[in-house]
Structure 1
Amino acid sequence: MTDFPFLLAMIAVPAVGAAVVAALPRGSDELAKRLALGISAVVLLLAVLATVAFDPDGERFQLTMSASWIPDFGVDFALGVDGIALVLLLLVGVLVPVVVLASWRDTAPGRRSMRTFFAWVLLLEAMMVGVFAATDVFLFYVFFEAMLVPMYFLIGSFGGPRRQYAAIKFFLYSLVGGLIMLAAVIGLYVVSTSELGQGTFAFDALRQLDIDPGVQKLLFLGFFIAFAIKAPLVPFHTWLPDAGAEAPIGGAVLLVGVLDKVGTFGLIRYCLPLFPDAARDLAPFVLVLAVAGILYAALLAMGQTDLKRLVSYTSIAHFGFITLGIFAFTTEAATGAVLYMVNHGIATGLLFLVVGMLIARGGSRRISDYGGVATQAPRLAGVFLIAGLASLALPGTNSFVSEFLVLVGSFPAVPLFTVLATLGMILAALYVLIVYQRTMHGPPRGVLLVDDGTPEPAGTDGATATLTAPAPARLRVRDLDRLEMAVAAPMVALIIVLGFYPQPLIDLIEPAVAATMQDVGAAPAGIAPATTDAGGTD
């Protein structure tokens, strides 16, 4: 079973599927939907089978394959996964079918076709699998940059009123970061040539290099800036609120749920093992950015009037926690950070989906246009509540385990940064519960009130009724239907199941994280149930 090329199949199936869907004749939107759903379901099945074939106690990288691609420059088409990449592939496998179902009734703006939308989604899935599965640094860079294209068109062609501005801003930010990383990739190749006598981009070979500390810092910064933009970390974050607000709901789920994880994945996969001295030296600087992002984004989220921008700012705050866990250099914190990547994708993905369902009913993204929705749509309000509670990391939800591991693992190593980060938990409770109370409870207001043209009764002062404002009538808001429940149900189930039993994912993640901590020179302690020392430091 392990000889089957799972990773290559997970790239090829959606890539070929995207071409097939794009080639369908005009007017084939219904067939395109069914094909996209079936293809994404096959990728999910492959991800599950790959997980079954993966041995957490085996070699660091498994399910590997390699073929010479550009031999003159030592570039191979090399694929393989450790536990960190594997759980993110599972996240991709889960979210794409959910996005296809959530977009089932969407209509394309102007003369565009939903057939094209689903083709871009499938191509994006292939690129996302490639970026997590690549074990050749140059191949990783190719997938890293290639992801920009389908997401650019998803935002620019199918997004909101300011979609073109948001798409160009997203593309330019990411492109600049990618070009900086390209310079660092070339520098890494030059260093490998001088040390090994032949240039290489193989990850296993590169992490064995003894790079001069000064050169390490330059190369580290080249990779870090690209990943900080992608993550995004403050102050490189300004593209995300615009992109998240203007992207179609399905695109926003993939943008915040998966694409942004490429940034934090790159930090732990490449920045730490390849440049360990630079990572330790520059860790205080990175931790300042992480904590600043937690607090700054949480405060901005509290002041938002746009539902989609609010969710985007909550994601920036969560990425601060993930970065804190990575640069605390302990197994507990880093395992929590990787688990946070998965759980954030699920919780925030569901939050974006339910916000999209609310906007579809009210036709407005403004928080002030909603109130009292729970009385008319209790199932929608219930899903909104679960997504919100997961976002603020309430015990019993999946995000709590991640945040707890990050804080417990970070405190012995970086206590000041950890204490400051805990303030973000308080702010998260505020912005989530406030927006829930304003939209779901209280008297109906905004889009739930319509003018029925009936004048109010005459006042006691004898004024005629024709001079008074017409009485507002309550607009009926439908609750979640079967399709929408089918979209939300698996996400809700994952939030609850992983909130109470995250150990299977932790078992996959921890060995890879421990190996990374060894690369960076830390002496981490394990967090498996059989381990007695649960408060290990570096």
Structure 2
Amino acid sequence: MTILAIISLLFAGGILAWWGERHLRGSSQWISLLAIAGATILLLRYWGLATADMTAAPAGLWWDSLQLSWIPRFGISFFLALDGLGFLLILLTLLMGLFGLIVTWREVSFRRGFFYFNYLWTLAGVVGVFTAMDLFLFFFFWEVMLIPMLLLIAIWGYEQRIFAAIKFFIFTQASSLLMLMAIVGLVYVHFENTGVVTFNYRDLLAAQFSPQTGYWLMLGFFVAFVVKLPAVPVHTWLPDAHTQAPTAGSILLAAILLKTGAYGLLRFTLPLFPQASAAFAPMAMTIGAIGVVYGAVLAFAQRDMKRLVAYSSVSHMGFVLLGLYALNTVAIQGAVMQMLAHGVSTAALFALVGALQHRLHTRDMELMGDLWSQVPKLAAIALFFAVASLGLPGLGNFIAEFMVLLGTFDSNRTIAVVAAIGLVGAAMYALQMMQRAFFGERRGPPPEAGKAQALADLNLRETAALLFLAVALVLLGLRPQPVFDISAPAVAGSIQPLQGAPINSSQAAPPKLSRQVAQSKGD
């Protein structure tokens, strides 16, 4: 019942925060803090499984599960399950939820109760997405996380928030309906084969269909997930949504919601449609490599700092798509690491951009310049996360991108070389951001905040929250093996159908990094 308790606590916390703010001003923040902290404590009950030796565990073994009858006439059940992959992503979700709440503690000035209601319901929907193993329930949580995020952008966003919210809704809702059609089609095909109507993930893994049918059903899932990822050319909603969203909303989008698309590809698309996924892999890898380079080029061309970070997400998530469809253990493990490292580093960058906008009332780097001497703590921390974003060795982003490229090189050397160019682009836009905002000369009139008084540097609360993320990136870079150990059985279970051979206990064991590199040669 722990999984259900986590989701229920977040849903109930959102309702209580909305109600509490109407009776006691300022209580919604503390209620939200307690709800997310309580959910994190509940999740950490699984820490013993995360650190246990899973050598003898079969691939795809659930750590915990809950299955209740919901709509039996249509084979729909309330089926929640957790494994290592889900644990890592839910831990990222809750920690980034805490970070976003703490770092923007004083930024919400109106309708705070309703803001934190939507904030917590977005987190609850994401946790549901990472644990739902009934496809109808998965779609339900997929929609639950989208609507509150839409409201966060539309109500508390910036000058063009309505346009950005509508664009976000059209892209995500259209792709969601396409996924729903694919889900219903998969269930119907399974019904034709067995005479049983079910939305259960484990049952649908055994569905039999023709290659052509599988290809079209796979595309329905693929398009829905790459829109959320996002991948080129269906990425255009992301820069507008990120730029216009409030800082807390940008953190949720970058650190958490984008990962639901990658999770869907790994959990559902690859195992449900192995033959179609293998046939489509060269095209998917090409899209990923184009996204890596294209996102870096567009990020380099931006004047708006928030828009620059948004386009950098397109580039970084291209590495995730590339790694997933390289279809070997090393690349997929690198993609999982990229989800975590990108979530941490980009959340910090959006928090820093939000802090600058709050102080300067602008995101235009041409109106900044020479900020290093005025806000040294903010500038130093921004430099750390900028070099983390470009893939500095010793940090989690470097491990992730190195493994993705290493695994991709075994699958397709040309695509790996093209994607490696994106690393050069990352260095260019990250260092240009630091030069223009913190070291270079201001090219326009000074912001209003700088005319009357000196800029305030990061306070203790903001500094502590950002340093926590910096330590997390260092730990991911210097000791990545625990992440690989935790996610290894889930990764093995996802690629088992693609390899066309059963995975024995020795292959399902959490492989050490050196063993993964060796195994990728065989993959």
**TM-score relative to the length of structure 2:** 0.94
The 1-side partners of 2:108 and 2:23 are apart by: 12
Change (3 A) 1:232 1:450: closer
Query: Could you list the per-position Cα deviations for residues 337-356 of structure 1 after superposition, in whole angstroms to 9, with x for gaps in the alignment?
Result: 01111111001011111111
Whether 1:89 and 2:90 are equivalent positions in the alignment is yes
Counterpart of 2:521, as a letter, is G
Q: Secondary structure of 1:260's partner?
A: helix
Change (3 A) 1:446 1:395: same
Counterpart of 2:116, as a letter, is F
Aligned partner of 2:416 among 410, 418, 424: 418
The 2-side partners of 1:29 and 1:99 are apart by: 20
8 Å CA contact retained: 1:330, 1:522: no
The 2-side partners of 1:477 and 1:447 are apart by: 16
Aligned partner of 2:499 among 498, 510, 521: 521
1:26 deviation in Å?
2.9
> Whose relative contact order is higher, 1 or 2, with alpha carbons under 8 Å and at least 6 apart?
2
Aligned partner of 1:488 among 466, 472, 491: 466
Specify every segment of 5 or more residues in structure 1 that has no aligned partner in the other structure, as ranges.
452-471
The 1-side partners of 2:328 and 2:47 are apart by: 25
Counterpart of 2:201, as a letter, is F
The 2-side partners of 1:378 and 1:208 are apart by: 58
1:521 deviation in Å?
2.0
Sequence identity percentage: 36
Query: Could you list the per-position Cα deviations for residues 311-354 of structure 1 after superposition, in whole angstroms to 9, with x for gaps in the alignment?
Result: 11000011110011000000000011011111110010111111
The 2-side partners of 1:284 and 1:253 are apart by: 32
8 Å CA contact retained: 2:239, 2:310: yes
8 Å CA contact retained: 1:61, 1:81: yes
Counterpart of 2:259, as a letter, is K
Q: Secondary structure of 1:279's partner?
A: helix
Whether 1:234 and 2:219 are equivalent positions in the alignment is no
Partner of 1:533: 518
1:211 deviation in Å?
2.1
Q: Which runs of 4+ in 1 moved over 6 A?
A: 522-526
Partner of 2:73: 72
The 1-side partners of 2:231 and 2:4 are apart by: 31
The 2-side partners of 1:238 and 1:67 are apart by: 39
- Larger Rg: 1 or 2? 1
8 Å CA contact retained: 1:96, 1:125: yes
Aligned partner of 1:33 among 29, 33, 37: 29
The 2-side partners of 1:363 and 1:379 are apart by: 19
1:89 deviation in Å?
0.5
Map residues 206-217 of structure 1 onto 2, 5 A cutoff. Answer: 206-217=204-215
**TM-score relative to the length of structure 1:** 0.91
Aligned partner of 1:396 among 394, 397, 419: 394
8 Å CA contact retained: 1:36, 1:118: yes
Aligned partner of 2:196 among 195, 198, 207: 198
8 Å CA contact retained: 1:450, 1:475: no
Partner of 1:458: none
8 Å CA contact retained: 1:449, 1:475: no
Partner of 1:45: 41
The 1-side partners of 2:494 and 2:115 are apart by: 38
The 2-side partners of 1:281 and 1:529 are apart by: 28
Q: Secondary structure of 1:65's partner?
A: strand
Change (3 A) 1:28 1:504: same
Deviates more, 1:77-86 or 1:147-156: 77-86
Aligned partner of 1:23 among 11, 19, 44: 19
Map residues 79-158 of structure 1 onto 2, 5 A cutoff. Answer: 79-108=80-109, 112-158=110-156
Partner of 2:330: 332
Partner of 1:62: 63
Counterpart of 2:156, as a letter, is F
Partner of 1:289: 287
8 Å CA contact retained: 1:413, 1:537: no
8 Å CA contact retained: 2:296, 2:312: yes
8 Å CA contact retained: 2:11, 2:121: yes
8 Å CA contact retained: 1:332, 1:527: no
Counterpart of 1:518, as a letter, is Q
8 Å CA contact retained: 2:361, 2:448: no
The 2-side partners of 1:75 and 1:515 are apart by: 23
8 Å CA contact retained: 1:527, 1:534: no
Q: Secondary structure of 2:303's partner?
A: coil
Query: Could you list the per-position Cα deviations for residues 32-59 of structure 1 after superposition, in whole angstroms to 9, with x for gaps in the alignment?
Result: 1111111111111122222334554435
Aligned partner of 1:368 among 366, 369, 372: 366
Change (3 A) 1:490 1:200: same
1:479 deviation in Å?
1.3
Q: Secondary structure of 1:185's partner?
A: helix
Q: Secondary structure of 1:333's partner?
A: helix
Partner of 1:502: 480
- CA RMSD, 1 decimal: 1.9
Deviates more, 1:245-254 or 1:203-212: 203-212
Query: Could you list the per-position Cα deviations for residues 46-89 of structure 1 after superposition, in whole angstroms to 9, with x for gaps in the alignment?
Result: 22222334554435222111001110011111011222221101
1:369 deviation in Å?
1.0
Specify every segment of 5 or more residues in structure 2 that has no aligned partner in the other structure, as ranges.
none
8 Å CA contact retained: 1:258, 1:345: yes
The 2-side partners of 1:336 and 1:131 are apart by: 22
1:359 deviation in Å?
1.2
Aligned partner of 2:247 among 228, 246, 249: 249
1:450 deviation in Å?
7.1
Counterpart of 1:178, as a letter, is S
Counterpart of 2:375, as a letter, is A
Change (3 A) 1:449 1:208: closer
1:217 deviation in Å?
0.4
Counterpart of 2:3, as a letter, is L
Change (3 A) 1:447 1:117: farther
The 2-side partners of 1:517 and 1:449 are apart by: 53
8 Å CA contact retained: 2:63, 2:84: no
Query: Could you list the per-position Cα deviations for residues 133-162 of structure 1 after superposition, in whole angstroms to 9, with x for gaps in the alignment?
Result: 011111111111121111001000001111
Change (3 A) 1:122 1:366: same
Partner of 1:268: 266
Alignment size in residue pairs: 511
The 1-side partners of 2:126 and 2:377 are apart by: 32
